[in-house]
Amino acid sequence: MTVQPVRFWSGTSSGSPILLPVPISPVTQYGRVILENLTALATLGSSAVSFRWEFYTGMANGSAYADKYLGGSTNPSTVTKAFAAAPTGFSFINNNAPSVVATASATAFNPGASTTIAISSATGVPTSGVVRINWATGMSQINGMYFYYTLSGTTVTLPYLNTVGYSAGTTGSLSFISNYGTQFSTIAQGITDIITGTTTTVQFGTQHPYQVGEYIQLNIPALYGAQLGQYLNWQTGVPNATRVNNAGYQILSTDASTVTLAVNTVGQGSFAFPTNDEVQALTGKVQNTFPQAIYAGFNPSVILAQNASQFTSGGTILELGSAIVGSSGDLLNLYIESDTLLATY
């Protein structure tokens, strides 16, 4: 069977490395990754120019092959492949266990439109970034989730988590992580709210890398809204015209921490976090399963046909290094070809 590359992402280069969550974890499952520079391709002429970069299974992490037009009057149409050494090509970063840069003990979790957490000491804690909540007593419904935070003194503020009506939390611990910039790029983003309507707005706990025109899938556990989850979930949702291949919803607009999707959820129930007591009542005090968005880039078929346990915060980040992203303003297309069968729900 011939496997064809599919376009996964399109964007404009800033001239700096680009970080993208990719929906497949082991590097060995990629047959080929291709980055095409449309701007460079349009300038082929007498000057030498690299217009396409490729990565194959088995190559060293950080490397790339260049499709390079040599130009010149003696070889006006010659294209050759040239190897580019690490670390400025294609790099795969395992984000299943983000690097912890500091920890802190929490002495209070205070509900509000923006949740605040009092910590005993802020030594070594960055002034902003991403934090993981560990075993928050009294506010256990947020345990294990990642949030964007800001720090002032010994107060950590979670601006994208509205906990009005929650019970206050008393103790817990926080892990402050290396998040590769302000955006927490993971294969699955934790959801803190869903606003239903003729279009549907999804609020994340962190800032996100998503762009208008891309697709995401949704996984909403029944504890957060059984009717809404049944309607939207990629495993169980009812097929409808706004879901491509019964898989992904297209993003219509974004801001730093939300996306608005092309799906009508009027009359489909509402979203709400479970209470602390509801989470504590889970059989055997098992870890709560979080509502998540699963990234599918520009092609909702690029999701592996595997079970939901694969889609947890973490996964693989593909870094497009400075040697291959071109100049600021260049138009780029990223294609993925997998050695394993990709789902087409």
pLDDT in tens, 172-230: 999 998 655 555 656 678 899 999 999 999 999 988 878 888 888 888 888 899 888 88
In the prediction, which pLDDT does 97 show? 59
Residue-wise pLDDT tens digits, 24-34:
544 445 568 88
Listed in sequence order, the residues at least 6 apart from 74 whose beta carbon sits closer than 8 Å to its beta carbon are none
Show which of 123, 152, 177 is a domain's final residue. Answer: 177
In a domain, 182, yes or no: no
In the prediction, which pLDDT does 259 show? 95
Show which of 153, 177, 201 is a domain's final residue. Answer: 177
Give the full edge-to-edge strand order of the sheet including 18-22: 18-22, 316-320, 90-94
Residue 257: both structure tokens together? 């921490």
Global pTM reads: 0.78
In a domain, 1, yes or no: no
Least confident of 54-63, 66-75, 133-142, 255-264: 66-75
Q: What is the mean pLDDT of residues 254-262?
A: 93
Q: Are 200 and 194 in contact (CB under 8 A)?
A: yes
> Which range of residues forms the domain containing residue 148?
100-177
Same domain, residue pair 167 and 216: no
Residue-wise pLDDT tens digits, 97-128:
567 889 999 999 999 999 999 999 999 999 99
Q: Which pLDDT band, with edges at 50, 70 and 90, does 311 fall under? A: very low
Show which of 146, 177, 208 is a domain's final residue. Answer: 177
Q: What is the mean pLDDT of residues 77-105?
A: 72
